[in-house]
Structure 1
Amino acid sequence: MLHVTPPMGPNLVVKASPLADEVGWLDVNKDTLQHNKYPNVFGIGDCTNLPTAKTAAAVAAQSAVLNRTISKILKNEKPDKKYDGYTSCPLVTSYNTVILAEFDYNGQPLETFPINQAKERRLMYHMKADVMPHLYWHGLLRGLWGGPGPYRKIFHLGMK
């Protein structure tokens, strides 16, 4: 299977600033999403140097960690939630099937559902086509969706 991704690069505004790492990405701690040099700067998404895929799913998981981290820091408390690198890539394999690839920083599967997600499934096609757009537009963009982490714990009975 061929999965093509367009070339990506750092945002020129960040790249030309002291916030950037040596390559031009926003230089953040991969666990807390806090800038490595400027403690009042945080980042999520495509502008960061996080060693994970730059997807909406990753941003959703990052937003949950960032929300908790900033809340703790504003209370002069130590951040207690870490971003594990979660990202998801729905790979369309036919007109009505998808492989829902979910993984962590180490490329290890971090599957939400208690089924073999490496298998093509019509259910995952409906997740991509029908559920994920609603999660994005009505959940993530409104700050109501922080990724599937809590659901993963429920579906796997707290074992993952």
Structure 2
Amino acid sequence: MDVTIKPAYNEKEEILKLFKEYTDSILAEGEEVAACLKSQNYDKEIIEIEEKYGLPGGRLYIACIGSETVGCVALKKIDDKYCEMKRLYVRPGNRGKHIGRKLMEQVIFDAQGIGYKHIRLDTFPFMNVAIKMYKNYGFYEIERYNDNPAPTAVFMQLDL
């Protein structure tokens, strides 16, 4: 199984499908997640996806096995020192194959190349497998750094 990670700027239809699958799956967890997405202006994000995750400070990737798109991740600039990993998602039938790890490694590599000093992210306790992966890569919990209103949100950072 060869996984290819590639820029998604010319794959807008695919990336939007993946973003929708991701948000639908987490919205099933309740109102707290809905409030989080609203605070992030998610509806505007999908309209302005190239601007939010565009070069030079951002990145947007999909993961493919052959011609099948199986996952995605995005990188967003916060400022010259900090960036944020967003929308890391692997389709359920492809989980457990280290695809999320490969997507995350690509974002870490790019963040270092851009010159960021830290990658941040926010997540939820129900994403326990992802949290374990983040911790295995050196992410650690930090104080709230954004407007996410969810009381149970978990905020993490990796020093590059």
* Category of TM-score, reference length = shorter chain: under 0.3
Q: Which has the higher contact order (CA 8 A, sep 6+)?
A: 2
TM (normalized to structure 1)?
0.26
Say which one has the larger Rg. 1
TM (normalized to structure 2)?
0.26
